[in-house]
Chains A and B, each alone.
Chain A
Amino acid sequence: MKFRKAIEKFSESILFASSTVTTIAVLFIVFFLFKSGMGLFSASPLEDGYALAVNASNPVKQLTSRQIKDIFNGDVTNWKEVGGSDDAIQLFTIDELSSNYTEEQLGASLEHIPACVNDYVSKNKGVFAFFEKRFLDKSFSGRMVKVPNITLAEFLNGREWYPTATPVAQFGVLPLILGTLWVTFLAILIAIPVGLITAIYLAEIAGDRMRRFLKPVIELLAGIPSIVYGFFGLVVIVPFLQQLFNLPVGETALAGSLVLAIMALPTIITIAEDAIRSAPVSLKEASLALGASHWQSLSRVVIPYAKSGILAAFILGIGRAIGETMAVLLVTGNAATMPSSVLEPVRTIPATIAGELGEAPFGGTHFKALFALGIILFIITFVFNTLVEVIKSKKSS
């Protein structure tokens, strides 16, 4: 008796410990995600260790990262377009020194570079200089241009994603959010009818032998690594869509949705089928006894009974689809443009994180921006999971 109590106590403490560890791990990951991601909004889009400067007589004191990008892309060529005087913009980087100054002026071991930079900036009225801070002369006469920190509104509303652009990066995530939602919703539109029909067939219509064969096959689909789905999509679905719609390019939102729909199906079918089968036989028999046909009792009695379980199946299937990285990475083309049609390339948040995190400098602005994207994805998934809870609690009440 005493021994059994000890064992019970022991197993209880093991259960307690494992749930505590899991909770702590989850909280830690969420904390890490938010800590790394929120750092973005106190970071400057200008790369660390670099400076932007203009001539002292230039009235421009501050430029947004977008304006700077337009200037360096050659789209803006006059200071008056960004609120300055009517002077042509002269871009200057360290590379230009050698064509303007002799080796003697630069010094044998290039020790006079700061002085030359200073000289160049002070002599040219329209100059816009971009150089490393270590080349900043002590008596630098030009004026440093301020670049405002990245704001939340800019991040969410920005339409350009150039995380490694120099001199300033562009972190606009609107095309990525829209891309994710487009691909996910289209996948839902495809997966839900197909999944529901298959679930009804398996639960009510298929014979026992058929069911015993089909169900493991469908469940097997869930075990295939997503990169395999992605590659299947790239070599089969992408060329197929390209020919079907006569598109210039086959990597499209639709291709991503098709792959995601296939991937979400096992979850949807399995859970929805269980929900339908859990409807009490007595209900169905009562309906049949009242003279309803098989189809009538299925659509009016069994499915309404299983409604909340079916909804939960949809949402869990979608949850799997929305966070999917590798498959989408291969087939959607990943062009960060505002999506205007499902037959155009889009870029999703998970694909962006998977594709870029490996090469982003650790702890840098780009790194933080990718974690901020992770937060957005976390919020989207959180909303879906909350929906599941709400629906479940509705069922029990």
Chain B
Amino acid sequence: MKKSVVTLFLAISLLIPVVTNAQKVVCKIKGSDTCLPLSQRFAEIYNKNNAGSGISVVGGGSGVGIAALLSGTTDIAQSSRKMKMDEKLKLQEGGKSVKEVIIAYDALAIIVHPSNPVSQLTREQLEGIFTGKLTNWKDVGGPDLKIIVYSRETSSGTYDFIKEHVMNKKNFTASALMMAATGAVVQSVSQTKGAIGYVGLAYVEKEVKALKVSYDKGKTYVAPNVSTAMSRKYPVTRPLYYYFTNTVEAKVKPLVSFILSKDGQNIVLAEGFVPLS
């Protein structure tokens, strides 16, 4: 009797790794700090549910992640911007082709000081403000107050996105204040009366006010939230990417399909990002 229990136990303990081995993923994810909390959550849950998996996540920035992909020191590069042309060319020179997967969306909110009476702006007005052509809030229907533009660093994926999609690829005014982190943008906007800045939806707090934005010259204004971003009504929405080479595709596939599954996308929602559908 005792012997059979032991054998049963042994059999089960042997079986468990066999069953879960198929889903086991050991890989490294590196790159964008925007994607970092999301990827960490994915890794945590995936590692817990699939014994033997070892997914590790490191930040550092989109450029760092893609550089690591080029040198082969990471399996997946997480990025908040699309891969640049010269990065793609370098990968091709190394004889690798790259796969791109969109894992979630991130809505960017335009934020101002809560005391600011302006509550909506058109894309054209935003372009004017960010390029430095409009310098006073009275130009856009607000009080007589100097506009202080807070931006992220030039190399941040968020900066690139705003420049490309809100400012028609024009450059930010040289007097824009460049903040090193999203948290610093929120902090500064909350304590500066004439401030305007942009942050991911997940970072909007009650110390700042998110503006409604219009992309049709003022006909309709849309407030940023998860439901307007999901229905694509809110225009300032950007994709977050995973990049990996074709050589590791088979290895990372279970993880990617988990992320794209309903469970994975629920994590996206819970972390304050916008699910794919």
Contact = CB atoms under 8 A, between A and B. Distances in A.
- Interface of chain B, helix or strand or loop or mixed? mixed
A81 interface: no
A360 B63 contact: yes
Contact of B155 (A164, A329, A351, A363): A164
Most chain A Cβ neighbours within 10 Å, of B70, B84, B157: B84
A335 B195 CA distance: 14
B56 interface: no
Interface stretch (B47-55, B172-180, B198-206, B226-234): B172-180
Contact of A48 (B64, B71, B89): B89
A345 B66 CA distance: 32
B161 to A, nearest CB: 12
Contacts of A160: 174
What class of interface size applies to chain B in its complex with A?
35 or more
Interface in B54-86: 60-64, 66-67, 70-71, 84-86
Interface stretch (A33-41, A103-111, A235-243, A372-380): A235-243
Interface string A219-262: 00000000000000011001100100000111100000000000
Contact of B85 (A48, A249, A250): A48
Contacts of B157: 359
A251 B191 CA distance: 11
Interface residues of A, number: 48
A352 to B, nearest CB: 9
B248 interface: no
Given A73-B170, A334-B177, A164 B63 contact: no
Contacts of B154: 161-164, 356
Contact of B184 (A49, A234, A242, A335): A234
B180 A330 contact: yes
A334 B178 contact: yes
Contacts of A166: 169
B171 A69 contact: yes
23 contacts: A49-B89, A72-B169, A73-B170, A73-B171, A132-B85, A160-B174, A163-B155, A164-B154, A164-B159, A234-B184, A234-B188, A242-B192, A248-B145, A248-B194, A249-B195, A251-B188, A337-B174, A337-B175, A356-B153, A358-B63, A359-B63, A362-B64, A362-B66
Contacts of A357: 155
A304 interface: no
Interface string A249-284: 111000000000000000000000000000000000
Contacts of A69: 171
A173 B145 CA distance: 31
Interface string A29-73: 000000000000000000111100000000000000000010011
Nearest to A332: B177
B156 interface: yes
Interface in A59-97: 69, 72-74
B139 interface: no
B131 to A, nearest CB: 8
Nearest to B86: A48
Contact of A354 (B90, B175, B180): B180
Interface in B148-165: 148, 153-157, 159-160
Contacts of A323: none
Interface of A: 47-50, 69, 72-74, 132, 160-166, 175, 234-235, 238-239, 242, 248-251, 329-330, 333-337, 345, 347, 351, 354-364, 366
Most chain A Cβ neighbours within 10 Å, of B70, B87, B160, B195: B87
Contacts of A163: 154-155
Given A248-B194, A362-B70, 9 more contacts: A74-B170, A164-B154, A166-B169, A249-B148, A337-B174, A347-B178, A356-B155, A358-B61, A361-B86
Contacts of B66: 361-362
Which 5 residue pairs across A and B have the least CB separation, nearest first? Answer: A358-B61, A362-B67, A359-B155, A48-B86, A334-B178
B191 A335 contact: no
B247 interface: no
A363 B84 CA distance: 13
Contact of A164 (B148, B160, B170): B160
B146 interface: yes
